[in-house]
């Protein structure tokens, strides 16, 4: 037995330096009917309306939207519009740069006006020190550019009056 042997064949395998963002590191789902049964939520959002599902049997309002009602297991659900205004329940700043995200940015929890729905959302257009619990915020539709050919959208919120 020898420590080295010049006769052992050597070859090289090349791993690519960069690959396209793999499907499972993309935070946003594919939003069309070929990929998700809640595509109507995304279709409505693309058209400018925040919505969710409500159970036609027991009346439960869900968020996030569902295909089966967690209250009564009915699958007879219908899409209903949600308010586009709400108030800040809590908020913070995201640092630490999750891959593909443009940190730092604001994030928070919004109580939608007049319905029992509380959702998390990125809070655009204000620094942490400029915000307070209870501040009124309103919907911003965000179009997602890349990496698929699909026209994807998501919702964010910003302090009311920012665009006035």
Partner 1 sequence: MVRNAAIVGGGHADWGKREATWKDLAQEAGKATFDDVDGLGPDDVEGLFVGAVQPERFAFQSHVAPLAAELLGVNASKMIARTELACASGQAALRYAWLAIAAGQLDVALVLGVEKMNLGDEYMGETQASMTNVLDREFDGVNGLNAPSFFSMYAQRHMHEYDTTREQLAQVSVKNKRHAANNPYAQFQQDVDVDDVLDSFPVAPPLCLLDCSGITDGAAGLLLVSEEKARELTDTAAYVTGSGQSCMASNSINNLPSMSAWPQATQAAEEAYEQAGIDDPVEELDVAEVHDCFSISEIIEYEDLGWVEKGEGGQFIEDGRSELDGDIAVNPRGGLLGCGHPLGATGVSQALEVYKQFTGEVESARQVPDSPETGLIHNLSGSGSVHSVMTLARDPQ
Cβ neighbour number for residue 17 with a 10 Å cutoff? 5
87 binds, among Zn ion, partner 1, none (CB under 5 to 8 A by kind): none
Beta-bridge partners for 78: 54
CB of 55 to Zn ion, least distance (A): 3
Q: Could you say which residues in the range 70-89 bind partner 1, by CB under 8 A?
A: 70, 89
- Burial string for 57-79 (b: 16+ CB within 10 Å, else e) reads eeeeebbebbeebeeeeeeebeb
Q: Which is nearer to partner 1, 91 or 159 (CB)?
A: 91
Q: Could you say which residues in the range 88-147 bind Zn ion, by CB under 5 A?
A: none
Q: Could you say which residues in the range 53-72 bind Zn ion, by CB under 5 A?
A: 55, 57-58, 60, 69, 71-72
151 counts as binding partner 1 under rule CB under 8 A? no
Using the structure block, give the residue that is written with the tokens 């700043």. 93
Detail the DSSP E strand segments found in the chain: 51-55, 77-81, 85-94, 105-112, 118-123, 136-144, 152-159
Q: Contacting partner 1 (CB under 8 A), which of 73, 81, 120, 151? A: 120
Q: Which stretch binds Zn ion (CB under 5 A): 30-38, 52-60, 120-128, 144-152?
A: 52-60
């Amino acid at each position: 037995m020898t420590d080295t042997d010049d006769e052992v064949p050597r070859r090289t395998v090349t791993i690519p330096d960069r690959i396209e963002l793999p499907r499972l590191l993309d935070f946003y789902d594919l939003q069309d009917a070929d990929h998700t049964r809640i595509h109507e939520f995304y279709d409505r959002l693309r058209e400018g309306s925040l919505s969710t599902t409500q159970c036609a049997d027991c009346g439960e309002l869900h968020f996030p939207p569902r295909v089966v009602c967690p209250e009564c297991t009915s699958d007879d659900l219908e899409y209903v519009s949600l308010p586009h205004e709400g108030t800040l329940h809590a908020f913070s700043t995201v640092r630490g740069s999750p891959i593909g995200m443009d940190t730092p940015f604001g994030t928070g929890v919004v109580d939608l006006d007049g319905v029992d729905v509380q959702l998390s959302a990125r809070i655009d257009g204000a620094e942490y020190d400029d915000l307070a619990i209870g501040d009124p915020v309103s919907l911003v539709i965000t179009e997602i550019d890349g990496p698929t050919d699909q026209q994807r959208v998501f919702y964010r919120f910003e302090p009311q009056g920012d665009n006035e």
